[in-house]
Structure 1
Amino acid sequence: MNAQRYRRSMIVYDLDSLVGVNRSEGNSSMGRSTNLSLINHNVYTYIKDKFQSAYIQSSTSNNNNDENDNKDAIVNEEKWSVMVIRDPFLLRQFCDDVAFTRSIREIEEEEAEIRRADQPVRCVQCSDYYLVQDNKMGVCVHHDGFVYDNHSITLAQWGQHAAIAQLLKEEAEAIKQSSTNPLTPEQKERLEREKQRFKYICCNQTVQASGMVGGCKRGKHSLADVKLIQWEYECDHNRDYQDKRLNLLQTRI
């Protein structure tokens, strides 16, 4: 190659284009999993070897320009290799294979990422805990709509947690009342009917104050930085479910 004739040379490799990463998904007992692997192994091995053979070497050469002082000059022969890598998996793989010295900041960020991966995160959608690496499609079962009072003339809208809290409050009040004045059969029947009045707008399923939360939707768990108030705001202001509630109201007029 002509580059070998020069004292300084540099070659730039775009590993994302030359090597590439293959991503394949599969189903398992834990949900869907993603496997990552290199596509062009031979190209990757060649580039890795070229990177490791890059060097700066000092040599001496006779200084012919100075006729009076016939001293040897020190000349550096430089062979540079530059890697351009955008894919995180490919970057980690390459750094590990060539024992590339990373900055303290990069190491600290990776250690923080590992700690976060091993730290349980609470999902605001289903109230369950999960690990980031296990957050696959289908593992989170939840309701994504608000709650409405089916006994209300206006189909009064409630937040999911507020409706459950109201049912628990009414149940506690009934227990307290029955401890002093036993409930009549009519009161018990009315109480049971009232327990069934809250419905999820997304599927019309009855809200239960106890037991498994369940849900009508399957997806991924919420991200770690999503707050409960944000999730309930999305549920309360879902345009499709607001239209569904209006349609229900119109059928009862």
Structure 2
Amino acid sequence: MIVYDLDSLVGVNKSESVSSMGLSSSQSLANQNLYIFVKENFQLAHIEPTLSSDDSTQVEEKWSIVVIRDPFLCRQFCDDVQFTLSVSETQQRAADRAEAEQTLRCVQCNDFYSEEDNKVGQCVHHDGFVYDNYSNTLTQWSPERAIEQLLIEEAEAVQQANVGNGPLTNEQKERAERAKQRFRYICCNQMLQTSGNANGCKKGKHGPQNITRNEWELARDNNQEYHEKRRRLLTIRAEQHQ
């Protein structure tokens, strides 16, 4: 019988790379040749009657034991030698595969994703509330409510023009356009947009899955760091008007 410690003999290379799709990680076998040698010898293990003896109870045993701690290396080896998994391992693999392929909705960017493709840089979002930059008190708004308000104002402007049986004047258009630009994200001061795919200032992984969208929005709107930033902006403006 021979015992192989695959973590020590073979090992695993782990690497990370950054691309336009975000941060990705990969794993590979460090010593491919030694891995093949151990795999082939493991598959040659057998128990069979001794050919040189007339006693059928005499058997020849050739055992191999492989010790593996690294999860990636263990899965790779079990798959390559077609090692029979236990019922619990089979069920766990099926559950992991189903979870990886399940379509989820990100609470941060509100987009759909699968855990299998969830990498750093995939989720682009703002993690702060918005404020009315034209307001003396820098009134706080949630982005969702601010977008609703801008759409309402846009619809009202069109309705007023229809009632007056004429297009908006240049002054009215300029006033409406300025009003659209008054909402800013506290996290980066980027202007809130009602349409298009405006990029967020934060990049990361989708999730987390343990909270709801409403819970995430509540945490965003009550972020103490951004509330302090808003208070500093108010103080600066008050000092400028003294």
Q: TM-score range by the shorter chain?
A: 0.7 to 0.9
Q: What's the counterpart of residue 39 of structure 1?
A: 30
How many residue pairs end up in the alignment?
234
* TM-score (ref. length: structure 2): 0.75
Cα distance per residue 1:23-58 (max 9 Å; x no partner) = 223345644433321113344334434543445567
Distance in 2 between residues matched to 1:78 and 1:89, nearest whole Å: 30
Distance in 2 between residues matched to 1:10 and 1:47, nearest whole Å: 10
Q: CA deviation at 1:109?
A: 3.5
> Which range is displaced more, 179-188 or 146-155?
179-188
Distance in 1 between residues matched to 2:92 and 2:158, nearest whole Å: 53
Q: What's the counterpart of residue 142 of structure 2?
A: 159
Alignment of 1:40-189 (within 5 A): 40-55=31-46, 81-181=64-164, 187-189=172-174
Secondary structure, aligned partner of 1:218: strand
Residues 123 and 223 in structure 1, CA contact (< 8 A), matched pair in contact too: yes
Residues 142 and 213 in structure 1, CA contact (< 8 A), matched pair in contact too: no
Residues 126 and 213 in structure 1, CA contact (< 8 A), matched pair in contact too: no
State yes or no: 1:237 paired with 2:237: no
> Which range is displaced more, 213-222 or 199-208?
213-222
Q: CA deviation at 1:146?
A: 1.5
Do the aligned partners of residues 51 and 146 (structure 1) sit closer, same or farther apart at CA in structure 2, a change above 3 Å counting? Answer: same
Do the aligned partners of residues 180 and 18 (structure 1) sit closer, same or farther apart at CA in structure 2, a change above 3 Å counting? Answer: same
* TM-score (ref. length: structure 1): 0.72
Q: AA paired with 2:216?
A: W
Distance in 2 between residues matched to 1:152 and 1:58, nearest whole Å: 91
Q: AA paired with 1:228?
A: R
Do the aligned partners of residues 243 and 29 (structure 1) sit closer, same or farther apart at CA in structure 2, a change above 3 Å counting? Answer: closer
CA RMSD, Structure 1 to Structure 2 (Å): 3.5
Residues 21 and 121 in structure 2, CA contact (< 8 A), matched pair in contact too: no
Q: CA deviation at 1:223?
A: 4.5
Distance in 1 between residues matched to 2:210 and 2:115, nearest whole Å: 12
Q: CA deviation at 1:225?
A: 5.3
Q: CA deviation at 1:163?
A: 1.9
Q: CA deviation at 1:222?
A: 2.9
Residues 57 and 78 in structure 1, CA contact (< 8 A), matched pair in contact too: yes
Q: Which runs of 5 or more structure 2 residues have no equivalent in the other structure? A: none
Query: Rg bigger for which structure?
Result: 1
Distance in 2 between residues matched to 1:21 and 1:156, nearest whole Å: 54
Do the aligned partners of residues 170 and 84 (structure 1) sit closer, same or farther apart at CA in structure 2, a change above 3 Å counting? Answer: farther
Do the aligned partners of residues 77 and 143 (structure 1) sit closer, same or farther apart at CA in structure 2, a change above 3 Å counting? Answer: same
Q: What's the counterpart of residue 212 of structure 1?
A: 197
Secondary structure, aligned partner of 1:207: coil
Distance in 1 between residues matched to 2:84 and 2:182, nearest whole Å: 63
Q: AA paired with 1:35?
A: S
Q: Which runs of 5 or more structure 1 residues have no equivalent in the other structure? A: 1-8, 60-71
Residues 160 and 232 in structure 1, CA contact (< 8 A), matched pair in contact too: no
Distance in 2 between residues matched to 1:232 and 1:186, nearest whole Å: 36
Q: AA paired with 1:153?
A: N
Distance in 2 between residues matched to 1:133 and 1:17, nearest whole Å: 29
> Which range is displaced more, 229-238 or 86-95?
229-238
Cα distance per residue 1:135-168 (max 9 Å; x no partner) = 3333333222221121233222222222222222
